């Protein structure tokens, strides 16, 4: 990345980098967009500070990086169905996304990436953690990797840990079919289509069991994997500021929004980009 039209500064040894010296609100050359996508592939999640991206510009940027899709449970903001508010208001106690997960793995074609921009942030707290799922897979024993190669995880939109985190948004901004159940099976280990690397692809928020096994039979191995895949040495932590933007690769990274700002307001906006069938 030494010849990229911006500076790349990793924020941990495992995952994440801040990109400096770039204004995302401008009509960026194709080469710069390609360099941003390469930084995402290299670091799994990339961050930008002080970006002026009102909804129209935010959506235009997303369209340069992929194909925006609507979130299945929450309506988009006025005039922009592909942009949803990710909010926690002063009186609310549960935050959106407050559990380790990869976005919407209960879809047959889960999203490739997610863009999240900060509109209002609390004085303290409200950080987001990210975890590298390449490392989570690569640090497993050979025998366990062999076992996982034949397993598929069953993801459900109704798993309690996740469904609770979106209740406030469904109550105020829910889509007409916000209560529908979505279920999908995906390999427990997926191969990234662009990098060719293998990543662990189960998550605490959505994976309920392995296909062909009961939840009770699946639970011990899943619990081990859920704990293993968020080891501190696989993670980074991002402190939000107004106008900060994160873009993460859902195929190989998980994230967790920390709920440590009681009585304060946090308003973000999110766009997800279409993905493909995990393999």
* pLDDT over 60 (residue 175): no
**Residue showing tokens 């899943």:** 222
How high is the pLDDT of residue 83?
98
* pLDDT over 90 (residue 150): yes
73 pLDDT tier (thresholds 50, 70, 90): confident
pLDDT, tens digit, 9 for 90 and up, residues 209-247:
999 999 999 999 999 999 999 999 999 999 999 999 999
**Residue showing tokens 């040894």:** 13
The phi-psi region of residue 97 (left if phi > 0; otherwise alpha if psi is between -120 and 50; otherwise beta) is left
How high is the pLDDT of residue 96?
87
* pLDDT over 60 (residue 139): yes
Choose, from 37, 204, 206, 270, the residue flagged as catalytic: 270
176 pLDDT tier (thresholds 50, 70, 90): low
3-17, 33-47, 150-164: segment of lowest average pLDDT: 150-164
pLDDT, tens digit, 9 for 90 and up, residues 101-117:
999 999 999 999 999 99
- Counting every residue written for the chain, the total comes to 279
For residues 134 and 269, the answer to whether their CB atoms sit within 8 Å is no
How high is the pLDDT of residue 180?
79
* pLDDT over 60 (residue 171): no
pLDDT, tens digit, 9 for 90 and up, residues 19-69:
999 999 999 999 999 999 999 999 999 999 999 999 999 999 999 999 999
Q: Is 255 a catalytic residue?
A: yes
Domain boundary assignment for the chain: 7-273
**Is 7-273 assigned to CATH 3.60.130.10?**
yes
Q: Is 171 a catalytic residue?
A: no
d(CA 117, CA 196): 29
First to last CA, the chain: 28
Q: Is 103 a catalytic residue?
A: yes
Closest CA to 74 of 276, 275, 277, 268: 268
Which DSSP string corresponds to 136-180? Answer: HHHTS-HHHHHHHTT-EEEEETT-HHHHGGGHHHHHHHB-TTTT-
pLDDT, tens digit, 9 for 90 and up, residues 118-130:
999 999 999 999 9
Choose, from 190, 204, 255, 266, the residue flagged as catalytic: 255
CA angle 196, 198, 203 (to 5 degrees): 135
Choose, from 37, 43, 101, 206, the residue flagged as catalytic: 101
Choose, from 37, 43, 82, 103, the residue flagged as catalytic: 103
* pLDDT over 60 (residue 149): yes
How high is the pLDDT of residue 178?
54
Q: Is 228 a catalytic residue?
A: no
């Amino acid at each position: 990345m030494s010849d990229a039209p911006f500076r790349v500064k990793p924020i941990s040894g495992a995952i994440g980098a801040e990109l400096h010296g770039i204004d995302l609100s401008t009509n960026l050359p194709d080469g710069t967009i390609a360099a941003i996508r390469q930084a995402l592939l290299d670091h799994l999640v990339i961050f930008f500070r002080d970006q002026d991206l009102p909804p129209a510009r935010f959506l235009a940027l997303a369209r340069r990086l992929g194909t925006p899709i609507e979130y299945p449970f929450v309506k988009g903001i006025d005039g922009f169905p592909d942009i949803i508010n990710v909010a926690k208001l002063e009186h609310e106690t549960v935050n959106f996304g407050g559990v380790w997960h990869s976005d919407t793995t209960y879809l047959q074609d889960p999203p490739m990436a997610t863009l999240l921009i900060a509109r209002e942030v609390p004085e303290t707290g409200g950080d987001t953690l990210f975890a590298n799922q390449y490392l989570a897979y690569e640090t497993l024993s050979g025998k366990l990797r062999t076992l996982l190669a034949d397993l598929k995880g069953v993801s459900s939109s109704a798993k309690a840990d996740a469904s609770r985190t979106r209740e406030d948004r469904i109550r105020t901004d829910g889509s007409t079919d916000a209560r529908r159940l979505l279920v999908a099976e995906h390999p427990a280990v997926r191969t990234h289509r662009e990098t060719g690397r293998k990543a662990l692809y189960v998550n605490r928020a959505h994976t309920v069991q392995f296909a062909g096994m009961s939840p009770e039979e699946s639970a011990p191995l899943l619990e081990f994997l859920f704990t293993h895949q968020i080891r501190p040495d696989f993670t980074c932590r991002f402190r939000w500021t107004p106008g900060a933007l994160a873009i993460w690769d859902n195929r190989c990274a998980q994230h967790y929004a920390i709920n440590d700002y009681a009585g304060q307001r946090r308003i973000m906006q999110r766009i997800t980009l279409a993905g493909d069938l995990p393999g």
